Structure formats: structure tokens, C-alpha cells
Amino acid sequence: MYGFDAISANNGWFIAATGVSMVFIGLIVLTLIISQLHNVLALMEKLTAKPEVIPETKPTIRVPPPDPSDVETTARVFTPLIEELPSEFQLSELYALAKEYHLPHPHLSIRCLIENGTLQPLGEGVFIFIPSCEE
């Protein structure tokens, strides 16, 4: 069977109409809900506004924000962090740790340490720490 006959015989008109309708119904419902999502979230945030942020478990190292170009101080501040890491570590791990301990401007400091050679790249993003820079 071919043509309109085949379509009718196989319930084609009905299936196609239903299919198109269902796609539209499904996505219209989704549109409505997604479009309200941020309103709902805003509302919930208002309702559950916490009185105070719970501090992280890791202690904050409180140091006078060093001049990041003062490499020696920077290196001293970073030493305890680096000791928490394996001897060969990913730079991203050090960044994460520096953030966790709320060290001031970690990006800049780490860049200094790299430029100055205190952090030594081993390839594949892996670095080692060379404590004293007088080699």
C-alpha cells in the first residue's frame, strides 16, 4: 500500500498529530517550569537566608598580606601548604589549597614562585618545590 491509503491504514495522521502535540506539550510544560526556576530559587533563598555563613573546617592562616613580589615571604607562607601535598603535585592542587586557607592573591603569588624558580615545572602540569632558591 502506498500514498494516503498507507498513511490512513497505519493510523499515520493520528500518530503524527499526537506526536507533534506531545512534543509541544512536553516542551511547553518544561518552558513554563524552567522559566519560573530562578524566581522559585530567589524566593527560597529569601526564606532560608542563613544568619551567618558556617566557616570552613580548615583553619584560616592569618598572615599580613605579603607583597606578592616579595618572593621570600611568599615562599615562607606557602611552605606549609606545599608540605601537605605530595612531593610532585599539580599546580591546581596548590591553588585549591591556597584558596582553602584563604591566602591572599594566590594566583599572583604562585606565579611569582614559578617565575622565581621556587616551583619547578616537571611537565604535564606537575610541579616540584625547591625550597631555597640559591642553587
Partner 1 sequence: MEMILEIIESTGFANASVSSLVMMAIALFLLYLGIAKRYEPLLLVPISFGMLLVNFPLSPLMLSPDNGQPGGLLYYLYMGIELGIYPPLIFLGIGALTDFGPLISNPKTLLLGAAAQVGIFITFLGALAFGFSPQEAGAIGIIGGADGPTAIYLTSMMAPHLLGAVSVAAYSYMALVPIIQPPIMRALTTKKERAVVMEELREVSKTEKILFPIVVILITGLFLPAALPLLGMLMLGNLFRECGVTDRLSKASQNELNNIIVIFLGLTVGAKASAEYFLTIQTIQIIVLGLVAFAIGTASGVLMGKLMYKLTGGKVNPLIGAAGVSAVPMAARVCQTVGREANPSNFLLMYAMGPNVAGVIGSAIAAGIFLALLN
Total residues at interface with partner 1 (CB under 8 A): 33
Q: Exposed/middle/buried for 28, CB within 10 Å: 0-12, 13-18, 19+?
A: exposed
**Pairing of β 88-90 and β 126-129:** antiparallel
Q: Does 126 bind a copy of itself (CB under 8 A)?
A: yes
Q: How far apart are CA 105 and CA 70, in angstroms?
A: 13
Distances (CA, A) of 31 to 25, 39, 43, 52, 119: 10, 14, 19, 35, 50
C-alpha–C-alpha distance, residues 38 and 29, integer Å = 16
Closest distance to a copy of itself from the beta carbon of 112 (Å): 10
With CB under 5 to 8 Å by kind, the binding choice for 125 among a copy of itself, partner 1, none is a copy of itself
Tell me if 111 contacts a copy of itself by CB under 8 A. yes
Contacted entry of a copy of itself, partner 1, none for residue 2, CB cut-off 5 to 8 Å set by kind:
partner 1
* 20/108 with CB nearer partner 1: 20
Given 35, 64, 123, 132, the residue binding a copy of itself (CB under 8 A): 123
Could you say which DSSP state residue 77 is in? H
Q: Which of 34, 121, 131, 133 binds a copy of itself (CB under 8 A)?
A: 121
Summarize as ranges the residues that interact with a copy of itself (CB under 8 A).
90-95, 107-108, 111, 114, 117, 120-127, 130, 135
